[in-house]
Structure 1
């Protein structure tokens, strides 16, 4: 498990430095990353995983909340329904405040949840359904699959009246804090 942790800490290595590129905005592309992590271009699913993986390496979310495909000379907006990645696996080591949670995405990116890779569970105010996310890199999140979220629920503890999990020395709520009291 130690090698997995080391890999998670260096997960960003080898990726293009999109955060340092500041090309001119070139408009929008008819590309959508759906909730299930599938990539679509002009209404057709991109079925070649290496192509989707390539696009994922030049993806960036800017402060305006928009996702862009970025190269040194182009910046093109695309639509992301929920998150650009899907967390398909979580591995836990340690216990309590010393616990580490390492997430693997649908593109084999690794991220150890902690202050730089927070877990955020949004609760739909109408349905009460959770949307569990973990930050992978930059402003890019991964939507946790239901089995991954269930694994987190199994690891959950109570801290200051809130149910959640520890990772990387930080506590992440898996539910909204009780408003009464």
Structure 2
């Protein structure tokens, strides 16, 4: 399908100009993310925004290929308690249909000496950095039919990143038996043990 761009069209589509003014007042990305948890605009729109399982962003059936635009939208994502994900600005709230996880972790970095106090960091394909720990857990779901693992790490709020297959393989290479169950493998990060799956 043809590449899609999300342009401003008041009343029908996310206003890129207003979004930029709200989250980039100085015209450039800052270190701090916008306070999307505090923004509660009236009214919700569904304009056909979706994030597919491979991390690609789509609008009305066409892929958004401008990396800068995807990164902009990623900064204003919010997942509410009911499980619905939105793009949120002070002026509007747009539904985002998420096929799997909103982010994809494409890189793993190991910080510190190996052991319980090591830190396992992940970088998403849109540039978010998250370090697994008490407030950023790693979890693995297993398909009951195929046994295929689906690993995730919390990025911020309720937003998770799915680990790309090569990244998960790197994580498995760091695995060691649990102190309570030698048949359970997992990894340590910031003093927390995260189970990955059975040893055999």
Indicate yes or no: 2:171 matched with 1:152: yes
RCO higher in 1 or 2 (8 Å CA, sep ≥ 6)? 1
Q: What is the correspondence of 1:1-181 to structure 2 with a 5 Å cutoff?
A: 13-93=31-111, 94-159=113-178, 160-161=180-181, 162-175=184-197
CA contact (8 A) 2:177 2:199 kept: no
SS at match of 1:149: helix
Q: Distance in 2 between matches of 1:26 and 1:97?
A: 45
TM-score (norm. length: structure 1): 0.87
Residue deviations 1:19-74 (CA, integer Å, cap 9, x gap): 11122231322011011100000000001011111110110000000101101121
* Structure 1 outlier segments of 4+, above 3 Å: none
Q: Distance in 1 between matches of 2:43 and 2:141?
A: 30
The count of residues paired between Structure 1 and Structure 2 equals 167
Q: Unaligned regions of 5+ residues in structure 2, if any?
A: 1-29
TM-score (norm. length: structure 2): 0.79
CA shift, 1:75, in A, is 1.6
Instruction: Report the structure number with the largest CA radius of gyration.
Output: 2
Greater shift in the superposed pair: 13-22 or 112-121? 13-22
CA shift, 1:129, in A, is 0.7
**How large is the Cα RMSD of the aligned pairs?**
1.7
* More helix as a share of residues: 1
